[in-house]
Amino acid sequence: MPPRGPSEGYDFTPILTHYLFLFTTILAVIGWFVAFIGQAVATAQVGNGSVGVLWFSIFVQLALILGVLHTLATDSIAMHRFQIATFGSIAIVFAVIGVNQGIFTGNAALDAMAAGWLILAMVDILWVLYFTSEEDSLMLHVFNSLGTGGLSPPSRRRRATRTTSMMNMGNNGYTAGYSTGGIGPMYDTKMGGSMTGPIGGTGSFRGGSAEGTPRSLGGTGSVNNLGNGGGPGSVGGGDGSIGPGSPLMGRAAGPDSNLATAESHQYRAKALYNYTASPDDPNEISFAKGDILEILDKNGKWWQARKADGTVGIAPSNYLQIV
């Protein structure tokens, strides 16, 4: 099932295929109506004294049920899990109060109310356990043994929104000035504008240097003297020159470069869960459970990956498994 977001409408398939949520949703709806009708009848028969705060509680419980259904139908567990866990915990307290105020009273309406709240209390406990479980926890493993429903797992490791990232920093993953061969303005605050301009085609800094005068990289020992051989330390030749085979010049074309290319594409990973890219970060990619992605960079918790259609972006490593 392809990933989706709140803007794509509701899909109740996860509820129907995840048996935990299928049964708890049915029980929650039944329990809510039993408690609501029981409270209404009890209020009419014996007054509001036996119900009291439970009228507020019944609508908190309704909001919780609707919130869980919305979260599951939009596959947005990671976004709403904390709110659901918080309100679920509050609802458990109210449900216990409802059971305590109605059970063993000898009044049919109050007994029905207590039965409805008892059902809701059990459902709320299961929901809180699920939404507070970490991805590697035993509790989540037990719940998912009943079926995952194609849902993305709850996770506290969702990354905060980043204002910039490597995909919009220029062609080579750095800031705009650096992408053209220069050092961009990201250093200005620390170096007083010493490197505010990019390195030009002649190898000189266009901005003011730390000494106040431009420093050219031309002349003897310059990286621009490729054709005349230069002096010592030049790229072109001479003693101590930086030739094509020098480590400072990177890998020369040949078998080694082919090996480096092969190494950068040797990993493939299988998606363990659905993942919907964050709308706040255009560099994330969405994928469905079971997709095979080519891993370009597997350093850190967010890997750079390429999908089968050629889309490149970052993906959470805990959603992927190397194959």
pLDDT of residue 149: 62
Top mean pLDDT of 123-127, 147-151, 276-280, 294-298 is at 123-127
Residues 6+ apart with CB under 8 A from 202: 216, 217, 218, 224
pLDDT of residue 293: 92
pLDDT of residue 124: 96
Residue 51: Cβ-neighbour burial (10 angstroms; 0-12, 13-18, 19+): buried
Encoded tokens for 231: 């002096």
Average pLDDT value for residue range 27-37: 96
With 70 as the cut, is the pLDDT of residue 148 above it? no
With 60 as the cut, is the pLDDT of residue 206 above it? no
pLDDT of residue 318: 82
Q: What is the pTM of this model?
A: 0.50
pLDDT of residue 155: 57
Instruction: List, in sequence order, the alpha helices (H) in the chain.
Output: 13-17, 19-46, 54-73, 77-102, 108-131, 138-144, 176-179, 188-191, 255-264
Cα dihedral angle (307, 313, 319, 323), rounded to 10 degrees? 50
pLDDT of residue 207: 41
The secondary structure of 280-315 as a DSSP string is T-TTB--B-TT-EEEEEE--SSEEEEE-TTS-EEEE
Q: Which has more confidence, 47 or 227?
A: 47
CA end-to-end span of the chain, whole Å?
21
> Between 108-131 and 54-73, two packed helices, what is the crossing angle to 10 degrees?
40
Q: What share of the chain has pLDDT > 90, as a percent?
A: 31
Residue 153: pLDDT band with limits 50, 70, 90? low
Residue with tokens 């095979």: 292
pLDDT of residue 8: 58
Residue 312: pLDDT band with limits 50, 70, 90? very high
DSSP 237: S
pLDDT of residue 185: 43
51-106 pLDDT per residue, tens? 889 999 999 999 999 999 999 888 888 888 899 999 999 999 999 999 998 888 88
Mean pLDDT, the chain, whole residue set: 73
102-118 pLDDT per residue, tens? 888 888 999 999 999 99
213-258 pLDDT per residue, tens? 444 444 444 444 444 444 444 444 445 445 555 555 544 444 454 5
Residue 71: Cβ-neighbour burial (10 angstroms; 0-12, 13-18, 19+): buried
